[in-house]
Amino acid sequence: MSSSAPLDVVDYVVAILILLVPVSVGIWYAIMDANRSTREEYLLGGRQMSLLPVTLSLFITFQSGISQLGLPVEAYFYGGIYILAGFGLGLSYVVGSFTIVPLMYPLHITSVYEYLKLRYKSELVRVASTMIGMVTTICFMALALLSPALALGASANVPLWVSIALFGAVGTLYTAIGGFKSVVWTDVFQTIVICIGMSIIIIKGCLETGGVGNVFSLSAADLI
């Protein structure tokens, strides 16, 4: 007997809204920026995006379905040692803000691959690094699409290929028609949704187990 609770109408409505909002954002910016369609506007948002949405976009970029499904399992089996990676990442951002950003930002380049061409004066270096980056991104996106597709398939009995095609199509559509601004503001929306969702899960879990102190007590007892 399956232990998963079936989805009801409200669940499907929320799921549809979460998929429709990014597409709507993409359509909005496709219309609003129709008369300003330059490469810099499309790829970089005209270099005029404000700090908060860009920060939230960078934050949620590292919180894909892989993180949402994988890190709780990691913590369950191996404890909180993974949190040390967070300190390392935080330190790298601080170092980068004093080293990489002052170097790259004044150049007004589109990507790090363009910088490599300037630095080494070689088109071959740029092409080779771009190909490596593309392969790496494709491999990552395969896992990033598979994770939510597995979750949707398990909860709604949707075939895996349909879930992957659905998420891939939505992501491709709003990115292609809306450009960088669409991606950033969609990321802001997803950040809000994930933070609210995770907060509800944490609060509900603590209530079901008898409080925060009891959660730590049960975790400690399980590790002994």
What CA–CA distance (Å, rounded) separates 146 from 144?
6
H helices of the chain, in order, are: 9-32, 39-44, 51-61, 65-78, 83-104, 112-120, 123-156, 160-209, 212-223
Report if residue 152 sits inside a domain: yes
Q: What's the confidence (pLDDT) of residue 67?
A: 79
What CA–CA distance (Å, rounded) separates 108 from 115?
10
What CA–CA distance (Å, rounded) separates 66 from 143?
7
Q: What's the confidence (pLDDT) of residue 1?
A: 42
Q: How many domains does the chain have?
A: 1
Q: Which of 108, 40, 124 is nearest to 116 (CA)?
A: 124
Report if residue 125 sits inside a domain: yes
Q: What's the confidence (pLDDT) of residue 128?
A: 94
Report if residue 206 sits inside a domain: yes
Report if residue 180 sits inside a domain: yes
Report if residue 68 sits inside a domain: yes
Q: What's the confidence (pLDDT) of residue 224?
A: 47
Report if residue 4 sits inside a domain: no
Per-residue pLDDT tens digits of the chain, which is 224 residues long: 445 556 778 878 888 888 899 999 999 988 888 777 777 788 778 778 888 998 888 888 877 777 777 888 888 788 778 888 888 888 988 998 899 889 888 888 888 899 999 999 999 999 999 999 999 988 888 888 888 888 777 777 778 888 888 888 998 899 999 888 999 999 999 899 888 988 998 898 888 888 888 877 777 776 54
Report if residue 158 sits inside a domain: yes
Report if residue 2 sits inside a domain: no
**61: containing domain:** 9-223
* DSSP for residue 47: G
Q: What's the confidence (pLDDT) of residue 3?
A: 52
Q: Which of 190, 170, 195, 197 is nearest to 24 (CA)?
A: 170
What CA–CA distance (Å, rounded) separates 215 from 170?
38
pTM for the model stands at 0.79
